[in-house]
């Protein structure tokens, strides 16, 4: 049986957007995140303020919530999914599915996934 794949690879698969914007879109917070991206882009705020405000909007648990919504939408169970991610913020998602793949991560995150891959060819 084919398994649904839940991808979250910053910049690898998302061109012209950002992970916070895409997660915010799924959570109904897109306008807030786009406004925040504009503020940092215009240098009205710096990285520490950006990080503080992003953290107030999003959490690693949001990825699991979004995965659950997608599973329901497509009529599949989380138990049939494979999660692919590239950072510590993906660890909660790794724990929510039976199979996970860490892509180009440090050893700490790699050790928390079922499988780990380092390289540039996602095939």
Confidence tier at 13 by pLDDT (50, 70, 90): low
What pairing do the DSSP bridges indicate for beta strands 115-117 and 99-103?
Answer: parallel
Are 87 and 12 within 8 A, CB to CB? no
- 60 or 71, greater pLDDT: 71
Residue 104: partners with Cβ closer than 8 Å, 6 or more residues away: 86, 117, 118, 119
Q: Give the model confidence (pLDDT) of 39-65 as tens digits.
A: 999 999 999 999 899 888 887 788 898
Q: Is 10 a residue whose pLDDT tops 60?
A: no
Stated pTM of the model: 0.70
Q: What is the mean pLDDT of the chain?
A: 85
The dihedral over CA atoms of 6, 103, 47, 14, expressed in degrees to the nearest 10, equals -50
Question: Which residues face 115 on adjacent strands?
Answer: 101
Instruction: Report the pLDDT value the prediction gives residue 25, as an integer from 0 to 100.
Output: 84
């Amino acid at each position: 049986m084919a398994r649904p794949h839940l991808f979250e690879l910053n910049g690898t698969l998302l061109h012209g957007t950002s992970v916070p914007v895409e997660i915010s879109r799924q959570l109904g917070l897109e306008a807030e995140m786009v406004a925040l991206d504009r503020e940092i882009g215009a240098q009205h705020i710096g990285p520490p303020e950006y990080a503080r405000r992003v953290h107030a909007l999003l959490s690693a648990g949001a990825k699991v919530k979004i995965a659950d919504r997608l599973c329901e939408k497509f009529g599949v169970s989380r138990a049939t999914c494979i999660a692919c991610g590239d950072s510590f913020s993906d660890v909660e998602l790794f724990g929510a599915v039976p199979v996970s793949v860490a892509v180009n991560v440090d050893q700490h995150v790699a050790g928390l996934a079922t499988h780990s891959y380092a390289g540039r060819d996602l095939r």
